[in-house]
A and B are shown apart, each in its own frame.
Chain A
Amino acid sequence: MNKALRISFELRNTYRVNAILYSLRQIPIIKRCLPEGLYQVRALKIFANILSALGEVFSMFVWKILYFALMVSGVSTWYDAADETQLFLHLLVFLTILGGFLNGNIFMPSYDKYYAMILLRMDAKRYTLVNYAYMLAKFVIGYIPVAVWFGRRAGLPLWQCLLLVFFALGTKLTVMQHGLRQYRKRGTALDSKKDGYVGMAEMAALAAAAYGLPALGILLPKSLSLAICSVLTVTGLFSAWKIGKFDSYYEMYREILFDFLNQTAAASTMTRDQTRKTISADPQITSSRSGFEYLNELFIRRHRRILWKTSVRITLVCACIVCWA
């Protein structure tokens, strides 16, 4: 596992660092200052590594601060709740469960996973578990101080603030286990139509419960909120064990990643075809000019739809900015 963790970390880091260096090369002025073989220059790699590490730290804390500030504590000021603590817990319970479904990272296909598991043939189970554990560790490290700070402000004792952290962790694990169980039952990882509708309905209901019920003066009792937190913490422990025992990661990801590649290829073909369709092939579009002017006029007439669309967009944005100013 240590080796899998090390390689997985190095791979992700190398990929990210190279992407940063590649992005720097796209900036015209900086490009001239960079050496040709920049991906082998140690100083640049160190610089990019520092940027990458800063990005990791940033993502660990900032999103959680924004989440609590905007979606929990910030929103709670809209309601005239008698008990601020009860409102805080109510919002967190529903939003945490909703977040568990929305941030189902493990089932999301990505090129990183394809490269690691399919091209480089890393052991799928080790790769998945190591990356998932890393993601959860990042989550906990970022969540603890933020949950404690906002929770204490809302009047929660410290132990309940920490319970919220394990509740969030347990929810993620429980949802992931649920997904793996669905895969075992159905024999397939994907049922996008069914999952799409069911998933969206569940999420809408949770969002409505989180924000709608307090508007009607209905809040979960504190004891019930804490009970839900405790139950999901315990189910999270059980789920962690089941996740570790699951042994069809390779088959599952094969299916997910194969479909992902096909959909990506189909999407890019569709985009290309749609772009082609907007270019007029009408043979009656012609020009009476000559030389370069002939070519220019023909180009503008045949690409009228593309050119107009871009111009209209730019005009609208400028108009909005001017009106706002």
Chain B
Amino acid sequence: MKFVVEHLEKHFEKKTVLRDISFTFEKGKIYGLLGRNGAGKTTLFNCLNRDMKMDGGKFYFDHGNGACPTRAEDIGYVLSVPTVPEFLSGREFVKFFLDIHADSLPDPRPVEEYLEAVGIDPQDRGKLMKDYSHGMKNKMQMLINMIARPKLLLLDEPLTSLDVVVAEEMKRLLRALKQDCIIILSTHIMDLALDLCDEIVLLNHGVLESVERENLDSCGLRDKIIAALAEGDHE
């Protein structure tokens, strides 16, 4: 399975944020979308998630037998600032999700097992998510996407503001998830991208370009990425 983006464009009045986004993403990989602040990473995700209308281009899934248009249930989006229903407890949230999607989940497990998988303490499961920490809300958001198993998972700055332990747990979850879907995570933290991602994609001046990792040691790759992103400063 591949996710293909062709000539995607997005303008805001006179400013062109996404110029000509074309790329093919493959299943089983975590792609790190690296870019400077204001490069258009979130805008790209909003276009792919259809939260924003594009000004041009298209995207689709390719299962090997032609283009398949994307449906809402094919795409999961994990926001940098997690949004969860504040007046539901963690247990209730998962229970409702499982209830709603009972017919479409291939292998539903008990609620407690899911909460255990993301490391939510038993004493926290009955508390309102209003009282959850940032990391716990992030885990709940991730859990819903793990259960839903979308074909494409978009994570916008996923590990921002997470402590070291929770960040490692989230990385473990992502590595476990990647087998069955395409994961694209956007970040401006290079170390995260180099540590977690199978491929690095730069969003620079409105276009996507892949960074070859072969034959480059960590320092060489880092320098190459910085040079590519800094190119615009000299123009």
Residues on B with beta carbons closer than 8 Å to the beta carbon of A14? 87-88, 92, 96
CA distance A243 to B101 in the complex (A): 25
- Would you list which residues of chain A between 118 and 164 have a CB under 8 Å from chain B? 119-122
Given contacts A37-B126, A40-B126, contact A15 B73 (CB under 8 A): no
- Would you list which residues of chain A between 1 and 33 have a CB under 8 Å from chain B? 7, 10-11, 14-15, 18-19, 22
Given contacts A14-B88, A15-B88, A258-B51, contact A39 B127 (CB under 8 A): yes
Q: Are B99 and A18 in contact (CB under 8 A)?
A: no
The distance from the CB of A5 to the nearest CB of chain B, in whole angstroms, is: 13
Residues on B with beta carbons closer than 8 Å to the beta carbon of A18? 87-89, 92, 128
Whether A61 sits at the interface, judged by CB under 8 Å, is no
The number of residues on chain A lying at the interface, defined by a beta carbon within 8 Å of a beta carbon of chain B, is 23
Chain A: which residue is nearest B92 at the CB level? Answer: A14
The number of residues on chain B lying at the interface, defined by a beta carbon within 8 Å of a beta carbon of chain A, is 26
- Would you list which residues of chain B between 79 and 127 have a CB under 8 Å from chain A? 83-85, 87-89, 92-93, 96-97, 99-101, 123, 126-127
Which residue from B85, B99, B126 sits with its C-beta under 8 Å from A39? Answer: B126
One digit per residue, 1 when the CB lies within 8 angstroms of any chain A CB and 0 when it does not, for chain B 190-226 equals: 0000000000000000000000000000000000000
The distance from the CB of B191 to the nearest CB of chain A, in whole angstroms, is: 28
Whether B72 sits at the interface, judged by CB under 8 Å, is yes
Given contacts A7-B96, A11-B96, contact A254 B88 (CB under 8 A): no
Q: Are B85 and A15 in contact (CB under 8 A)?
A: yes
Q: Are A119 and B126 in contact (CB under 8 A)?
A: no
The distance from the CB of B205 to the nearest CB of chain A, in whole angstroms, is: 25
Residues on B with beta carbons closer than 8 Å to the beta carbon of A10? 96
CA distance A19 to B128 in the complex (A): 10
Q: Are B100 and A22 in contact (CB under 8 A)?
A: no
Chain A interface, DSSP helix/strand/loop, else mixed: helix
Q: Are B87 and A15 in contact (CB under 8 A)?
A: yes
CA distance A40 to B88 in the complex (A): 11
CA distance A88 to B100 in the complex (A): 47
Q: Are A121 and B100 in contact (CB under 8 A)?
A: yes
Which residue from A37, A40, A120 sits with its C-beta under 8 Å from B100? Answer: A120
Whether A56 sits at the interface, judged by CB under 8 Å, is no
Q: Are A251 and B87 in contact (CB under 8 A)?
A: no
Q: Which of A10, A114, A115, A122 has the most CB of B within 10 A?
A: A115
Chain B: which residue is nearest A11 at the CB level? Answer: B96
Q: Are B50 and A251 in contact (CB under 8 A)?
A: yes
Residues on A with beta carbons closer than 8 Å to the beta carbon of B83? 114, 119, 261
18 additional A-B pairs beyond A10-B96, A15-B88, beta carbons within 8 Å, are A7-B99, A11-B96, A18-B87, A18-B88, A18-B92, A18-B128, A39-B89, A39-B126, A40-B126, A111-B85, A114-B83, A120-B96, A121-B100, A121-B101, A121-B148, A254-B50, A254-B51, A258-B51
Name B residues whose Cβ lies closer than 8 Å to a Cβ of A.
46, 50-52, 72-73, 83-85, 87-89, 92-93, 96-97, 99-101, 123, 126-128, 130, 144, 148
For this complex, 19 residue pairs linking A to B, each with C-beta atoms less than 8 Å apart, are: A11-B96, A14-B88, A14-B96, A18-B92, A22-B87, A39-B89, A39-B127, A40-B89, A40-B126, A114-B83, A115-B85, A119-B83, A119-B85, A119-B144, A120-B100, A121-B100, A250-B72, A251-B50, A258-B52
